[in-house]
Every structure is written in structure tokens, then in C-alpha cells.
Amino acid sequence: MQTNPRLNIRQVTWANPVGADLRAAQQAELDARFGTSDHEAGPAPSEADTAVFVVAYEKCSGQPLGCGGLRILDAKTAEIKRLYVVPYARGSRVASSILAALEAQAHAHGFSVIKAEAGSAQSDGRSFYESAGFAAVPNFGPYVGADNSHCYAKPIDSRSAAHTAMA
């Protein structure tokens, strides 16, 4: 079942050029929000630690609208990384559709918990995770002691995972 009939959500490699362009756009936006390029606690995600990476495309035009990935934290836990939607597509449920696809993939990969982090300059991200059923949790991993980080977690099981078909 596709959560947003306007979208095709495709799993791609981390090295996919469209995904790389979307991640670069996200990082440029975060650099501007935080006023520095030094705003990521810990190492940046990579192909080696990313279980799944998806790109959402508009069906009619084929235009890429957003992306997101799952970083492996341990055998049962993944972290949402690089969830991004291009500015003109925000507010049209693209982020929710990407998140639903990532939740379905987390369940398919055997993860039982997904975590997320949003920084102090990302009030929209914090609101998004809270409205998507994530609960605030103590900072984890590289975010421990990072005053500008807000961490979240959500259990995933067969009932809670939004099963989304990807093209």
C-alpha cells in the first residue's frame, strides 16, 4: 500500500547521485539554521552503517522531493538519518510518507525500535517526530551531553509499522 498516491518511494544506494544531492541540500540548510557546518554529533552516516536509504519522487514529474535513511545502531535499533524534503514540497505529507516507508523497512529488517534526533534549531523536526508517535528519550550515543540535541524513540512491530510498497 502506497501512503501517498502522488509519490514513488524507491530504495536506492547511499551513493545514488539524487540521494547525494538531497543530502547536500539538507546539510546546506542545516548549516544556515545552525550558523555553522559543525552541527552533527558523532560521525556522519555512511553506506557502511546505513541499512536503508530511500528517495521519494513525484509520480507525475519524476521530480525528487525528499529522502531518508536508517542508520544501524544495534541488532534491534535503527536511527532515522537525513530525513529531508525539498522546501517547496513541505506540508504535502512527503515527510510522513518517507517516514512510513522507513518504518516498514525497519520492521522488515528486524528492528524493533527506531530512534531520531532533532537539534535545537529544528523545532519543525521535533514537532514532526512528536506528531508521528515518537516519545522523547534521554540523549543516546553521540548525542549524550549535547545540549542542543533532542532525542526520540518509537517501538516498531507488525501493527505499528506502516507497510508501504516502494517502487
Predicted confidence at residue 19, as pLDDT, reads 95
Homologous superfamily of 7-155: Gcn5-related N-acetyltransferase (GNAT) (3.40.630.30)
User: How far apart, in whole angstroms, are the C-alpha atoms of residue 121 and residue 149?
Assistant: 9
Whether the model clears a pTM of 0.85, i.e. scores above it, the answer is: yes
What averages of pLDDT result for each successive group of 10 residues across the chain (167 residues)? 76 96 92 79 89 96 96 96 94 93 94 92 88 95 90 86 49
Cell numbers for 57: 519522487
User: How far apart, in whole angstroms, are the C-alpha atoms of residue 14 and residue 18?
Assistant: 10
Predicted confidence at residue 31, as pLDDT, reads 84
